[in-house]
Structure 1
Amino acid sequence: MGYEEIGGTLGVVQHQELPPAVALEERAAPRFTLLIRTAKLVCGRAEYLCVIRDVSAEGISVRLFHPLPPVEQLPADIDSRFVLEMQTGDRHPVRSIWEKPGEAGFQFLTPVDVEQMIRRSSRFPKRELRFAAELPVKLAISGAKYHAVLHNISQQGAMIETGEHLKIAQTMWIESRTMPDIEAKVRWRQGERYGLIFDTTFRIGDLAEIVHALQKRTSGPAHS
Structure 2
Amino acid sequence: MEQVEQQEDASVERRSGKRHSAVLLLGKLCGDVPGVCLVHNISATGLMARFVEVPSVGDSLTIEVRGLPPVRGTVRWVRGAKAGLEFDSPQPYEQIFLHEDEEGTIPRAPRFPVSLTADVKLGDRKLTAELLDISAGGAKLRADGEVVVGGAGQIIVRPMGTAIFGTICWVRDGRFGFRFVSPLPIDTLAGIVTRR
TM-score normalised to the size of structure 1? Answer: 0.66
Q: Which residue matches 2:74?
A: 95
Q: Which runs of 5+ in 1 are unaligned?
A: 1-13, 19-29, 72-78, 219-224
Q: Which residue matches 1:52?
A: 40
Contact 2:112 2:135 in 1 (8 A): yes
The letter for the 2-side match of 1:211 is L
Matched, 1:208 2:190: no
Q: What SS does structure 2 have at the residue aligned with 1:17?
A: helix
The letter for the 2-side match of 1:60 is L
What is the percent sequence identity of the aligned residues? 17
Give the Cα–Cα distance (whole angstroms) in 2 for the partners of residues 149 and 156 of structure 1: 18
Q: CA deviation at 1:70?
A: 6.0
Q: CA-atom RMSD, angstroms? A: 2.9
Matched, 1:158 2:145: no
Q: How many residues align?
A: 178
Q: Which runs of 5+ in 2 are unaligned?
A: 1-10, 101-106
The letter for the 2-side match of 1:185 is T
Contact 1:39 1:52 in 2 (8 A): no
The letter for the 2-side match of 1:207 is P
Q: What SS does structure 1 have at the residue aligned with 2:110?
A: coil
Q: Which residue matches 1:194?
A: 176
Contact 1:187 1:195 in 2 (8 A): yes
Q: How does 1:115-194 map to 2 (within 5 A)?
A: 116-118=92-94, 120-125=95-100, 126-176=107-157, 177-178=159-160, 180-194=162-176
Q: CA deviation at 1:106?
A: 1.4
Q: What SS does structure 1 have at the residue aligned with 2:23?
A: strand
Q: CA deviation at 1:160?
A: 0.7
Report the structure number with the largest CA radius of gyration: 2
Q: 1:160 to 1:171 in 2, by over 3 A?
A: same
Q: 1:85 to 1:140 in 2, by over 3 A?
A: same
TM-score normalised to the size of structure 2? Answer: 0.74
Matched, 1:86 2:65: yes
Q: Which residue matches 1:75?
A: none
Contact 1:43 1:81 in 2 (8 A): no
Contact 1:131 1:211 in 2 (8 A): no
